[in-house]
Structure 1
Amino acid sequence: MTQAQGFATTQLHEGYTPGVPQFTVATPVYQSSAYVFSSLTEAREKFALREKGYIYSRNNNPTQAVLEQRLAALEGGVAAAAVSSGQAAVALATLALLGRGGHVVAASQLYGGTVDLFDDTLRDFGLEVTFVDQDDFDGWREAVRPNTRAFFAESVANPIAQVLDVASVAEIAHEAGVPLVIDNTVATPYLLRPREHGADIVVHSATKFIGGHGSSLGGVVVDLGTFDFAAEPERWPALFVPHRRYGEVSLWEAFGPERAFITLVKSKLVGDLGPALSPFNAFQLIQGLETLDLRVSRHVENAKTVAAFLHDHPAVGVVFHPSIPTNPWKGVARTYLPRGAPSVFAFELAPSEEDAFARAERVIDALGTIRLVANIGDARTIVAHPASMTHNHMSPEQLAAAGISQGTIRISVGLEDPADIIADLAQALALA
């Protein structure tokens, strides 16, 4: 579609035109591992990336292509790569930027799996990371090194819903000559579009709100088309140095600024490392995406109601939700989240002489409607204990920097009747 259109129209229609081959209104599942070539000449040209088309589903698939085009449009980007999980999206976007011997400056307030990736696996690859408090702008500046190739942060941090001042961090990244990568999983493009505030690349765990039903894994890397890699081409050899894989030309020359970075992600990293998204999972994620605005609106309203209840409960010490009057990121949220704050946040049990983990365990185990699940963004309300689950590999210092204690409970508020969510929390908190 070329005409201007709204968010809901884009999430329903972008990337798929009914008519081939059976005129189905819903995007088909092209459940195929490979594709027939009409001739060896056609195969040769496609393998050399001189001709567009499908080769093998590790690299691309027609169902996956619809998901990519739709999410790129919703984020205001120029191209996207759909991969097997959100973790794969973070890893591939970072690897594509860092290259050999690179360095990333990352917020301390990140999902535990991302911290593990940056602080453990990337270091095994000879890559470097410096963590900074995402609100410490001097810290971002001071962390820059000659080999820095990216800044990385979450738009809304998991689990304490710390809202990033995207524009300020983007400005510092651009002063350093590097792109800002934003994990927009928690906010979704419906609540926040990082491109509008200076970000350059977005990653998503599509497993979460995009799919919305806890049924399928998937991730997406979106190039927003805002970072000028050509300003310092020597910093990005993977994009500008001619390579035999691309017929002794550079990716930038062959694909231009709109496709070069995503082609690097798809043709090299997904192709070599293999984290492909299955066609069926792509189909499931598209089905979820078609109702994203409706679901997220309900999530937002339910979360605001639940947060207010928790804030007033005597067993709760603090609620990390931007709607709470005392929340330190309430003002930033007004700027970046005009449609409301996301439904993933944390709360701390009130101080007590009893062991904090034991109290959190008693509350969590008493829940009925609300389930203990290592996920967020599900249609159902779910909780987790970050310190012993999603962030359990982090050191005590890293947990403290992320605002997590043994008494922290993360909640992802779902689509149930809010009165039922509150009733379940009330009976469990009575045991605290």
Structure 2
Amino acid sequence: MSQERPYGFDTLQIHAGAKPDPATGARQVPIYQTTSYVFRDAAHAAALFGLKEVGFIYSRLTNPTVQVLAERVAALEGGAGAVCCSSGHAAQIMAIFPLMGPGRNVVASTRLYGGTVTQFSQTIKRFGWSAKFVDFDDLDAVRAAIDDDTRAVFCESVANPGGYVTDLDAVAKVADAAGLPLIVDNTSATPYLCRPIEHGATLVVHSATKYLTGNGTVTGGVVVDSGTFDWSASDKFPSLSQPEPAYHGLKFHETFGPAAFTFHSIAIGLRDLGMTMNPQGAHYTLMGIETLSLRMQKHCANAVKVAGWLENHPKVARVTYAGLPSSPYAERAKRICPKGTGGLFTFALKDGYDACVRFVDAVQLFSHVANLGDTRSLVIHSASTTHAQLTEEQQIAAGANPDVVRVSIGIEDADDLIADLDQALAQI
């Protein structure tokens, strides 16, 4: 897409990365349901495999439908490039894979989705990596956690489950001073509400399963590279700055510049880890993104109304929504998420754990599922489900206390949602 003036978000979410199909004139992005692609000749094949020419080889690496999605999300985030993969968890591994090595660590926020805490505290140990969890409101603690083996700083823009808003500008300064990339999970906010790269992030990850797709039909993940980090400034990132044996000594950063991370993620990450997004899933996500801004406006408007009502209910102890004036993160949210803080938040019930369980069982319009970001309103008791693998101390640090219910507010009529919550609360 080339033009004299930059396109706005609403235009990019429909057009970025796509043009009418040159073979058929199809206006919507086709689903290229193919594993492989015919080469023009032997020289063409050799150039593709040698990274001397960009094109399609095999759908584990690249696919035309998936490529449109990558380019669209990169455009919406203001990044230099992106790579799509099979899930949000895959995106997290893809993001840190080129940066890490045995004995290396990542400094991560305590306020993360429970599955991410488990992935970082348990699973990555099998690669010889580790994570240090720190309260990112304590910048001195973040600085102190960074050591000679730290290779990345990781947080969520709007944290799942509590809707906590991270001060990305402040954290980015800490990461930059240490010569480290800041990786931001922007799933809950989406690029419509927050653009982490504008606040200093190096990489942005998404679970496309959530708001980007918006209809609960597919799983997917995206890693967006800002293209601004100097991978050759130190010897900390040899995968990107040093000769790559698999490509006859090619140096990714020297060869591809701002696109180095994206090329590495495709040529090595997807090649060897194989966490590929399928083209039909990419197509569903592309269709969802076409209405992203419209949906996020409604998610935010509904969440403000529902959270305000809950805050005044006699059985509710507290509400964590950063979009409320009473939130300790209200002022920060105006700077980090000026258009709103999304539809995700928690509320605590005065009668504790058992009341949460009874409440979840009593809702009718809300769906009790392990997902968020759907057009439908969703509810779950995080401590007994998504964060059940964590210790109670970790649950509290993440905002998934035993007395807390997480809601993902959809785009239904807000009064209908309030009526459902009201009848469910009446039953406890």
Residue 372 (1) aligns with residue 365 (2) = no
* Rounded Cα–Cα distance in structure 2 between residues aligned with 1:50 and 1:201: 25
- TM value normalised by structure 2: 0.98
Aligned partners of 2:231 and 2:253 also within 8 Å: no
Q: Secondary structure in 1 aligned to 2:97? A: helix
Task: State the Cα distance separating 1:336 from its structure 2 match.
Answer: 1.3
Aligned partners of 2:98 and 2:237 also within 8 Å: no
* Rounded Cα–Cα distance in structure 1 between residues aligned with 2:217 and 2:21: 28
Tell me which residue corresponds to 2:276: 276
* Rounded Cα–Cα distance in structure 2 between residues aligned with 1:175 and 1:238: 21
Tell me which residue corresponds to 2:402: 406
Consecutive unaligned residues in structure 1, runs of 5 or more: none
Q: Secondary structure in 2 aligned to 1:231? A: coil
Provide the alpha-carbon RMSD of the alignment. 1.1
Question: 1:170-191: CA deviations, max 9, x gaps?
Answer: 0000111101000000000000
Question: 1:9-51: CA deviations, max 9, x gaps?
Answer: 0110011111411111111110101111122222222112112
Aligned partners of 1:387 and 1:406 also within 8 Å: yes
Tell me which residue corresponds to 1:329: 329
Aligned partners of 2:96 and 2:152 also within 8 Å: yes
Within the candidate set 4, 7, 10, 1:5 is matched to: 7
Within the candidate set 76, 84, 96, 2:86 is matched to: 84
Residue 221 (1) aligns with residue 186 (2) = no
Q: Secondary structure in 2 aligned to 1:235? A: coil
Aligned partners of 2:211 and 2:373 also within 8 Å: yes
Aligned partners of 1:105 and 1:144 also within 8 Å: yes
| Corresponding letter in the other structure for 1:307 | A
Question: 1:302-356: CA deviations, max 9, x gaps?
Answer: 1111101110111111000013232111111121121112101111002x3xxx2
* Rounded Cα–Cα distance in structure 2 between residues aligned with 1:73 and 1:390: 31
* Rounded Cα–Cα distance in structure 2 between residues aligned with 1:142 and 1:267: 35
* Rounded Cα–Cα distance in structure 2 between residues aligned with 1:253 and 1:226: 14
* Rounded Cα–Cα distance in structure 1 between residues aligned with 2:260 and 2:247: 11
Residue 254 (1) aligns with residue 250 (2) = no
Aligned partners of 2:231 and 2:241 also within 8 Å: no
Aligned partners of 1:48 and 1:245 also within 8 Å: no
Task: State the Cα distance separating 1:244 from its structure 2 match.
Answer: 2.8
Tell me which residue corresponds to 2:72: 70
| Corresponding letter in the other structure for 2:120 | F
Task: State the Cα distance separating 1:253 from its structure 2 match.
Answer: 2.7
Residue 27 (1) aligns with residue 29 (2) = yes
Question: Greater CA deviation, 262-271 or 83-92?
Answer: 262-271
Aligned partners of 2:113 and 2:398 also within 8 Å: no
Within the candidate set 121, 130, 133, 1:131 is matched to: 133
Aligned partners of 2:252 and 2:264 also within 8 Å: yes
Task: State the Cα distance separating 1:385 from its structure 2 match.
Answer: 0.9
Tell me which residue corresponds to 2:302: 302
Tell me which residue corresponds to 2:355: 359
Task: State the Cα distance separating 1:101 from its structure 2 match.
Answer: 2.5
Tell me which residue corresponds to 2:378: 382
Number of equivalences: 426
* Rounded Cα–Cα distance in structure 2 between residues aligned with 1:113 and 1:377: 16
Tell me which residue corresponds to 2:101: 99
Task: State the Cα distance separating 1:231 from its structure 2 match.
Answer: 1.7
Aligned partners of 1:363 and 1:429 also within 8 Å: yes
Aligned partners of 1:311 and 1:324 also within 8 Å: no
Runs of 4+ in 1 over 4 A off after TM superposition: none
Aligned partners of 1:199 and 1:226 also within 8 Å: no
Aligned partners of 1:185 and 1:206 also within 8 Å: yes
Identity score, percent: 45
Tell me which residue corresponds to 2:339: 339
* Rounded Cα–Cα distance in structure 1 between residues aligned with 2:200 and 2:273: 30
Tell me which residue corresponds to 2:238: 237
